[in-house]
């Protein structure tokens, strides 16, 4: 079986839901459908909660009514008259209840984390109803399941942790039999409940986490994350003119890239599935024929060179040289304690016998940091630096790859070079002004030659 998760943009309007229906209908494997709230709805619900907390009953009520209308309009996706009437009645009941809740909370001017979860859960509860009705309307037998019955969590409202055992039991009793009967159950992501039935949510973007938990519990063959992009890219399109879709990458590679702002998916949310060896595929609901990007536990098959490149710009480099001749033990500790005191994360670190260089992104503590470091070291700073990073598990096995990466940068002044123990990336720090050229050169060398074309064909035909 597979899990098909559709994000907010894949259910954002009637056209999107119609695309979803086509994608789910043409799939032949047993499948569980997981959906996010319609795009923007979670934010709007949080805003309604905020207004209630301020005691603005009218504002909160209006916010809910606007959402009510948006969901009502979505019912037009269902053609069957009776089915549409049923869906409208469900939507009316949901938003009527929500309006009473926010008005009541506005009276007491208090929205606890528990009440906030009750409010935001309406987004997924409503979208999943619409999707189930739309699928039924297209002759896909799609029973709606209440996420609050399927996903059991602890009581950490706003960032609940799943009780895997209890959730697996629910999946076995509620989902498996329906799949065996040829049904296509639909459930909202992001939402769960405590064993005693209090509504909880998993944290923003939590629908991916729901999909991973369900896929893990059901031992899915694949989890599909349907979104509005073709997959993970070989480079940031704002820096490199023609990035390609990465056909396959490992979980570790995806984690590295997420750190550099590849926002397609937060790898930590899919860990429950990837940890069990269940592949996760990112797909574009506008172009369902594309193979997307496959995230797997093991390194990608075949290929040559890094899997993707990334950069982070506008950084400051700090060079810290011990004022003693040799680096005494305790020196690094003292250096990093300063960064800790100023709550400033360090990105790249390189060391020599007498000096340490680091880069930081957040300059707010810089003056204080330099002041404290100067008590025991010579300090020099340079702004307008960038990190350029080649990510790839092949750096572990291909002994010439690191040299090839650095070779592509020949002639560009490198301020720092770093390759970590895990060796899934090689990172250089250079002037920010050189970052686009560095990225273009790496991209041309590794992704725009013959190998890149083979990779692209694989994407097109898989
Ligand atoms: N609707 C929730 C959010 O926007 C969960 C999700 O979309 O994954 O954070
Ligand atoms: Mg969302």
| Pocket of ligand 1, beta carbon within 6 A | 7-8, 36-37, 42, 123, 189-190, 204-208
CA distance 235 to 286: 21
CA distance 348 to 311: 12
Alpha carbon nearest to ligand 1 atom 6, residue: 205
DSSP state of 228: S
Tell me the CA–centroid distance for residue 207 and ligand 2, in Å.
8
Tell me the CA–centroid distance for residue 84 and ligand 1, in Å.
26
Helix H segments across 227-326? Answer: 251-259, 267-274
Tell me the CA–centroid distance for residue 45 and ligand 1, in Å.
11
CA distance 163 to 192: 10
Per-residue pLDDT 10s for the chain (462 aa) are 999 999 999 999 999 999 999 999 999 999 999 999 999 999 999 999 999 999 999 999 999 999 999 999 999 999 999 999 999 999 999 999 999 999 999 999 999 999 999 999 999 999 999 999 999 999 999 999 999 999 999 999 999 999 999 999 999 999 999 999 999 999 999 999 999 999 999 999 999 999 999 999 999 999 999 999 999 999 998 999 999 999 999 998 998 888 887 777 888 888 889 889 999 999 999 999 999 999 999 888 878 899 999 999 999 999 999 887 555 788 889 999 999 999 999 999 999 878 899 999 999 999 999 999 999 999 999 999 999 999 999 999 998 999 999 999 999 999 999 997 778 999 999 999 999 999 999 999 999 975 554 444 344 333
Which residue from 67, 121, 207 has its CB within 8 A of the most atoms of ligand 1, so it is best to mutate?
A: 207
pTM: 0.89
Ligand nearest to the CA of 34: 1
DSSP state of 143: -
CA distance 124 to 70: 14
Strand pairing class (222-227; 280-284)? parallel
């Amino acid at each position: 079986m597979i899990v098909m998760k559709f994000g907010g943009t894949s259910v954002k309007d009637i056209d999107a839901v119609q695309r979803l229906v086509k994608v789910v209908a043409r799939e032949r494997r047993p499948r569980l459908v997981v959906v996010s709230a319609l795009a923007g709805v979670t934010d709007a619900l949080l805003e309604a909660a905020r207004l209630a907390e301020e005691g603005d009953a009218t504002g909160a009520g209006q916010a809910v009514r606007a959402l009510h209308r948006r969901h009502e309009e979505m019912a037009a996706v269902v053609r069957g008259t009776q089915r549409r009437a049923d869906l409208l009645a469900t939507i009316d009941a949901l938003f009527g209840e929500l309006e009473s809740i926010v008005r009541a909370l506005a009276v007491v001017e208090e929205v606890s984390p528990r009440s906030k979860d009750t409010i935001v859960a309406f987004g997924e509860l409503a979208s999943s109803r619409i999707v189930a009705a739309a699928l039924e309307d297209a002759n896909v037998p799609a029973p709606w399941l209440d996420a609050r019955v399927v996903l059991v969590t602890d009581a950490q409202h706003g960032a609940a942790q799943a009780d895997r055992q209890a959730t697996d039991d629910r999946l076995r009793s509620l989902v498996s039999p329906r799949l065996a009967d040829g049904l296509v159950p639909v459930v909202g992501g992001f939402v769960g409940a405590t064993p005693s039935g209090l509504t909880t949510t998993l944290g923003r973007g939590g629908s991916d986490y729901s999909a991973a938990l369900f896929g893990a519990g059901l031992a899915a063959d694949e989890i599909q994350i349907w979104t509005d992009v073709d997959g993970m890219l070989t480079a940031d399109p704002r820096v490199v003119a023609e990035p390609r879709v990465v056909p396959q990458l490992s979980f570790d590679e995806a984690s590295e890239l997420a750190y550099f702002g590849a926002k397609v998916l937060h790898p930590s949310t899919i860990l429950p599935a990837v940890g069990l060896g269940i592949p996760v595929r990112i797909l574009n609901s506008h172009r369902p024929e594309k193979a997307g990007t496959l995230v797997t536990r093991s390194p990608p098959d075949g290929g040559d060179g890094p899997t993707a490149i990334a950069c982070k710009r506008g950084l400051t480099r700090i060079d810290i040289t011990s004022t003693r001749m040799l680096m005494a033990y305790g020196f690094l500790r003292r250096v990093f304690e300063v960064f800790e005191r100023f709550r400033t994360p360090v990105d790249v670190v390189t060391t020599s016998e007498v000096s340490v260089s680091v880069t930081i992104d957040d300059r707010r503590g810089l003056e204080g940091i330099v002041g404290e470091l100067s008590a025991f070291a010579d300090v020099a700073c340079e702004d307008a630096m960038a990190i350029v990073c080649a990510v790839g598990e092949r750096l572990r096995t291909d002994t010439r790859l690191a040299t090839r990466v650095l070779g592509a940068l020949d002639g560009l002044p490198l301020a720092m070079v770093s390759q970590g123990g895990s060796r899934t990336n090689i990172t250089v720090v250079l002037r920010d002004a050189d970052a686009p050229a560095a990225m273009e050169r790496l991209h041309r060398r590794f992704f725009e030659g013959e190998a890149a074309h083979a990779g692209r064909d694989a994407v097109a035909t898989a």
